[in-house]
A and B are shown apart, each in its own frame.
Chain A
Amino acid sequence: METKDRAEYIVQLVRNNLLYYQLWTNVCVNAEQLNWRGQIFQVITGRPSHKLSNDAAAEGDTKLECVLPVEMCDYKNSDLTLECLDQVFTKLCNKDCKRLTLAIVNNDGTVMFYFVYKGIHKPKRN
């Protein structure tokens, strides 16, 4: 019960953040859930208001991004293992999803976003 409460709270927080702070569109909380060692993970998809990186230079338009809300404490406890992320990729994301955006909810009111790529990826150019 407790975990579920918490999961819902941070998913809602990240959804609002994407929709009304980052001004993403088509933001949608996916129904599928992953229960990983007692924790429930859920993915949010949405379209950013502008390009997030030059990764997909050729594609031009912004595309649907996959966002995974996690709580800072879980992140710090290293609960977010490679195995766990792999499960998220296979069970919660599209097949052709190459990149996951972690939305780390801290207890100071901020949400930090970090990219996680499937496999090796060319570093960002400064």
Chain B
Amino acid sequence: MAKLRPAGERYKYPLPIHPIENLPQLIPHNPISWVHWLYCYYKSFNGLPKRISIKILARKYCHIIVDDPDEMLFLWENGFFGTGQLSRSEPTWKARTIARMGDLCDEVDRGKSNLALEDITDRRRLQRIDFKKKRQQFEDQLLELRRRGGTIEDESKLVAKERESLRSLKDQQLLSFKKQNDTQLRSEDSELIDEKGELVNLESLELTFVEALFLSFAIPVLDVSPYVLIERFLGPIATLEYRNVYPSIKQYVAYHHYRSHGWCVRSGIKFGCDYLLYKRGPPFQHAQFCVKVLDVDETHDYTWYSSLARVAGGAKKTLVLCYVKNTTTEEEILRLLSKKNLTKALSSYEVSELIYRRWVPGKNRD
């Protein structure tokens, strides 16, 4: 399966549009090679042979769905677009489910397969709960000792023992971080097998509005026009109102800005911000930046900023305030949109950035 390919090869391309790489060698003194080269150059094409089709579900709040397994994988592997609805990010639900149900792969194979990110997180969570349970046991003992009127010396002995034991538990947990044999079939799982005895694919890839707009407006990947997307999300182009359009435009301008400078931009919803910026992508590095997109005249109570910064800081990320400024008028933007000149409309916005960081006097004295 794709999983076993090394990440460097699997995520070779940062965008779904690939550069032309298969041009033949050009030999200066051989004119035939020139002709061949020119022919190949003429024939080759950056675009996709077939654009990816999407479904837009629901009428009021839209969900943009890609459900072909190959296309889902393609969008993930070429720039990390979209999120598997039953996964943390990469659509791995099917592979995980096959591994869990042990239908199609045998025991030996599964022992070797890499753990999905979701599995690792789960394991950590369980270990943490184990740890807390153990700690609770000790604290109960301590309480018992106190109630019986034990001396301070007895207590410190117990505390020392606790620390020792908790530490060894941690070490043990680190060692035992391997796949447990947890094949399990539940009665609920029968729903997952179709009449041919195969696993149904329950998972689709969901794209955010800005991702879909990028993949249709900026690079020709999706089988949809950007204006159709805008109409579905914001209403008929002829009757748009600026206050309804601006929030989405603002988000897109920031998204495009970071994408175009090479960042892998993903939703920051779990950190209370708009975007997370990854270098290359989630399999390679943790995101180093949290981005919050604001209007130049936007202001909030200090608590709003400090909450954002605390969450970002707690996850060892830097908070970037990204301000989007309209350099022309609201009417002009609407006019450009109605004339379907999205390019000019978007390039009328200017981006400026600030870094917001808590400053501790005691750490800045020398």
Q: Do chains A and B touch in the complex (CB under 8 A)?
A: yes
* Residues in chain A within 8 A of chain B (CB atoms): 2-3, 5-6, 9, 13, 16-17, 19-21, 23, 25, 27, 50-51, 54, 57, 71-73, 106-112, 125
Known: A54-B129, A107-B209, A109-B206. 16 other contacts (CB 8 A): A5-B58, A6-B59, A6-B60, A21-B86, A21-B87, A23-B186, A25-B186, A27-B188, A50-B129, A106-B269, A107-B63, A107-B208, A109-B85, A109-B205, A110-B270, A125-B132
Q: Is B83 an interface residue (CB 8 A)?
A: yes
In the complex, what's the smallest C-beta–C-beta distance from B269 to chain A, in angstroms?
5
| B-to-A contact residues, CB < 8 Å | 57-63, 82-88, 93, 97, 100, 118, 126, 129, 132-133, 136, 186, 188, 192, 202, 205-209, 267, 269-270
A-B contact pairs, 25 of them (CB 8 A): A2-B59, A3-B60, A6-B58, A9-B57, A9-B58, A16-B202, A17-B86, A23-B100, A25-B188, A50-B129, A51-B129, A54-B129, A54-B136, A57-B136, A71-B61, A108-B83, A108-B269, A109-B82, A109-B83, A109-B85, A109-B207, A110-B88, A112-B269, A112-B270, A125-B132
A111 CB, nearest partner CB in chain B, Å: 8
Which one of B60, B84, B97, B133 lies within 8 Å of A109 (CB-CB)? Answer: B84
CA distance A51 to B97 in the complex (A): 21
Chain B interface mostly helix, strand, loop or mixed? mixed
Chain B proximity of A84: nearest CB distance (Å): 18
- Which listed residue (A6, A27, A106) contacts B267, Cβ 8 A? A106
- In the bound complex, residues from chain B placing their C-beta under 8 Å from that of A9 are 57-58, 63
Residues of B within 8 A of A73 (CB): 61
For A19, give the chain B residue with the smallest CB separation.
B188
6 closest Cβ contacts across the A-B interface? A109-B206, A109-B83, A108-B267, A21-B86, A108-B208, A6-B58
Question: A3 — which chain B residues lie within 8 A by C-beta?
Answer: 60
Q: Which A residues are in CB contact (< 8 Å) with B59? A: 2, 5-6
Q: Quick check: A54 and B132 within 8 Å, CB to CB?
A: yes
CA distance A2 to B97 in the complex (A): 33
Which chain A residue shows the least CB distance to B86? A21
Cβ distance A112 to chain B, nearest Cβ, rounded Å = 7
Most chain A CB within 10 A, of B58, B59, B83, B84, is at: B58
* Whole-angstrom CA separation of A125 from B186 in the bound complex: 32
From A13, A50, A109, name the one whose CB has the most chain B CB atoms within 10 angstroms: A109
A residues less than 8 Å from B126 (CB atoms): 50
Q: Please, how many angstroms separate the alpha-carbon atoms of A27 and B212 in the complex?
A: 33
Return A82 CB to nearest CB of chain B, in Å.
Answer: 20
* Least distance between B61 CB and chain A CB atoms (Å): 5
Q: A110 vs B267: C-alpha distance in the bound complex, in angstroms?
A: 9
Closest to A8 in B: B58
Report the Cα distance A34→B126, complex, angstroms. 35
Also in contact, A20 and B86, with CB within 8 A (given A25-B188, A107-B208): yes
Which residues on the B side are within 8 Å of A16 (C-beta)? 85-86, 202
Q: How far does the alpha carbon of A21 sit from the alpha carbon of B96 in the complex, in Å?
A: 9
Cα distance, A25 to B189, chains bound together (Å): 10
